[in-house]
A and B are shown apart, each in its own frame.
Chain A
Amino acid sequence: MIAQRVKGFERETPITITVNGQPVPAFAGESIAAVLMAAGFRALRCAEASGSPRGFYCGMGMCFDCLVTIDGVPNQRSCMAEARNGCVVEVRTE
């Protein structure tokens, strides 16, 4: 994995989310972007015109590049959405 959870943070509540049909471990309070990154996802979607891969970029909800589908709702900013136990995320990189 390129991204890692750092030591020094006490993560109270382990949860599980589903990404592309697979269970992915997470902790309550983390953003979907943080969970995806720590699970090794870097490309999160494809640019509409060229199809080139895009991922987490601004981290503050202004660039709209880290969009994923969350619980069936498309085009959600993964950096702004909090991971909830059982939520279903789809990352389309093809």
Chain B
Amino acid sequence: MTEIAVIGAGPAGVSAAVAAAGAGAKVTLIEEVARPGGQYYKQPAASLHPHPRSVPHSLADNLQHGRELIAGLKHPNIDLRCNTLVWNITPDRALDLYGPKGAERLQAKKVIVAAGAYERIVPFSGWTLPGVTTVGAAQLMLKGQGVLIGQKILIAGTGPLLQLAAVQLLEAGAEVAAIVELQSQVGFFANASKLFGQWGKIGQGMANQKRLMEGGVPIKYGYAAARALGSNQVEGAVIAKVDSAGRPVSGSEETIVVDTICINFGFTPATELTRLAGCEQRFDPNFASFATVTNPDFETSVRGIFAVGEVRGIGGVEAALLEGQIAGAVAARQLGYQADGQDVRKEWQKARASVESLGAMFAVKPGLFESIPDEVLVCRCEEVTAGALRSAARSGATTLNSLKAWNRCGMGRCQGRTCGPAAAQIIAAEIGSNPESAGTFTARIPIKPVPMSVVGAVEEARPTGTAMEDHVGYGKAVVR
């Protein structure tokens, strides 16, 4: 039993835990990886010391801010549980954990879900080859491990993250062969200036551009990665110009010799846990993905379960920190503690507003999904091609859930986290509907693979039924 369980020790989760503990509540902060910080404030192990003066400037600041945030977790009211996966959550706030001590069920009076986001991708030919990674993966390898993922790197996708990551990789010693940005140059700058809306961030964006220019990194605006070349690993890339609808222009292909391709088209909220708990989700057209609905106190439609940060919709680190702070205090207050911190709602509104339309501005045009060749894999786990998705959609699989019956899309180890948003776009484009009507894959336990013995351990301890029966919509006949 704990008073407040916070799931995820990224910026939102750490800030929620610190606020709730400061008000006097007992907090259990559960983190899947070895150290707090999340992906944004990824921290290396204690035995790998980055030197502030010799690591790239852009990383040193990030590491320092992360360390300062995490220092707040040294509070007697906070029980930090790392290397621990929350693989089940029930609407009455029972959490099933799998960690160093094996399986455990934790009952919480309040739950704050701060699960973060996943990178959004657009599948292209050859994207399963070793050497193709997400942009975030390259950043994590650098920040958390001190390892440069490649020597000659192509960065492809859309949004300001591409340029920031390019600077980091460049400063760490890689050659960035090119940045392939889906937006046109005019579109990118118009969007970026609206997005940033703050002089500091415009300054940062300009500094990145200057650094890339000095480093000789070409930025190809209005281009997309069309193919990864190589048989056992990446040996090159073909890029192509795209038209205003996002379709590749034939005859515009160029081949670049690279050993690594990093892709990112923005982010999509990690909503498995809130979906599993039955919390209301709403389609956010700006990001073309579902996000968890909350009231102004960040409580979801399921009482006692809160959602903060990217789970509510992509909003960036400042918003995540403030949402954690507010929700942590509200949850503590609901338990009878006095939380008299300063009111940060105005700052929060400002932070959210500055990135609110980020998704719309860097939206991936439907033409790019329409023109994914039929033979390209979309679901990496079950190896389902775009053609198979389209043919299923034409014969009636108009939602993500129905796709499963046709071709097992989304039923592999990643449970649709990687392919879901792209598959929704592809079937929507095929039948002329929209990704909202494609819905989401139903969240299933365990939300990530765990040994059978872990599920079994929990099952034995239950008075009645199976853990699956806690969830609306899961047919008992299927379970028994």
Cβ-based interface call for B241 (8 A) = no
With a cutoff of 8 Å between Cβ atoms, the chain A residues found around residue B118 in the complex are 58, 62
Contact count A vs B, C-beta below 8 Å: 161
With a cutoff of 8 Å between Cβ atoms, the chain A residues found around residue B32 in the complex are 61, 80
Q: What interface size band does chain B fall in?
A: 35 or more
Closest to A13 in B: B47
CA distance A58 to B139 in the complex (A): 10
Least CB distance, B243 to chain A, in whole angstroms: 29
By the criterion CB–CB under 8 Å, are B147 and A59 in contact?
A: no
By the criterion CB–CB under 8 Å, are B48 and A62 in contact?
A: no
By the criterion CB–CB under 8 Å, are A4 and B173 in contact?
A: yes
By the criterion CB–CB under 8 Å, are B381 and A37 in contact?
A: no
CA distance A56 to B50 in the complex (A): 23
By the criterion CB–CB under 8 Å, are B149 and A58 in contact?
A: no
Also in contact, A43 and B50, with CB within 8 A (given A3-B149, A56-B130, A60-B140)? no
Cβ-based interface call for B434 (8 A) = no
Cβ-based interface call for B233 (8 A) = yes
Cβ-based interface call for B414 (8 A) = yes
By the criterion CB–CB under 8 Å, are A9 and B136 in contact?
A: no
With a cutoff of 8 Å between Cβ atoms, the chain B residues found around residue A25 in the complex are none
Chain A positions 51 through 78: 1 when the CB is less than 8 Å from some CB of chain B, otherwise 0 = 0111111111111110100000001000
By the criterion CB–CB under 8 Å, are A6 and B136 in contact?
A: no
Also in contact, A53 and B141, with CB within 8 A (given A6-B172, A8-B51, A27-B47)? no
Cβ-based interface call for B150 (8 A) = yes
With a cutoff of 8 Å between Cβ atoms, the chain A residues found around residue B129 in the complex are 53, 55
With a cutoff of 8 Å between Cβ atoms, the chain A residues found around residue B58 in the complex are none
Cβ-based interface call for A87 (8 A) = no
By the criterion CB–CB under 8 Å, are B148 and A65 in contact?
A: no
Give the contact stretch, choosing among B38-46, B72-80, B360-368. Answer: B38-46
Also in contact, A12 and B149, with CB within 8 A (given A57-B137, A59-B134)? no
By the criterion CB–CB under 8 Å, are B48 and A29 in contact?
A: yes
With a cutoff of 8 Å between Cβ atoms, the chain B residues found around residue A11 in the complex are 47-48, 146
CA distance A61 to B42 in the complex (A): 13
With a cutoff of 8 Å between Cβ atoms, the chain B residues found around residue A79 in the complex are 137, 140
Partner of A56, one of B34, B133, B148: B133
Partner of B130, one of A6, A44, A59, A80: A44
- Please indicate which of the listed interface residues A55, A79, A82, A93 has the most CB atoms of chain B within 10 Å of its own CB: A55
Partner of B381, one of A42, A64, A82: A64
Partner of A82, one of B45, B382, B383, B414: B45
Least CB distance, B157 to chain A, in whole angstroms: 14
Closest to B140 in A: A59
By the criterion CB–CB under 8 Å, are B414 and A63 in contact?
A: yes
By the criterion CB–CB under 8 Å, are B147 and A29 in contact?
A: no
Cβ-based interface call for B380 (8 A) = yes
CA distance A38 to B46 in the complex (A): 20
Also in contact, A10 and B145, with CB within 8 A (given A60-B136, A63-B380)? no
By the criterion CB–CB under 8 Å, are B54 and A12 in contact?
A: no
Closest to A12 in B: B47
Cβ-based interface call for B260 (8 A) = yes
- Please indicate which of the listed interface residues A3, A6, A27, A61 has the most CB atoms of chain B within 10 Å of its own CB: A6
With a cutoff of 8 Å between Cβ atoms, the chain B residues found around residue A90 in the complex are none
With a cutoff of 8 Å between Cβ atoms, the chain A residues found around residue B173 in the complex are 4, 6-7
Least CB distance, B430 to chain A, in whole angstroms: 23
List B230-255 residues whose CB lies under 8 Å from chain A. Answer: 232-233
Cβ-based interface call for A22 (8 A) = no
With a cutoff of 8 Å between Cβ atoms, the chain B residues found around residue A53 in the complex are 129-130, 232-233
Least CB distance, A16 to chain B, in whole angstroms: 15
Also in contact, A29 and B380, with CB within 8 A (given A2-B260, A56-B133)? no
In the A-B complex, list the 6 residue pairs whose CB atoms are closest, starting with the nearest.
A29-B45, A55-B130, A59-B137, A9-B146, A64-B413, A8-B54
Task: List 20 A-B pairs, Cβ < 8 Å.
Answer: A2-B131, A2-B150, A2-B260, A6-B173, A7-B54, A8-B50, A9-B55, A11-B48, A12-B47, A28-B45, A29-B45, A33-B141, A37-B141, A48-B383, A53-B233, A55-B129, A56-B137, A59-B133, A59-B136, A65-B128
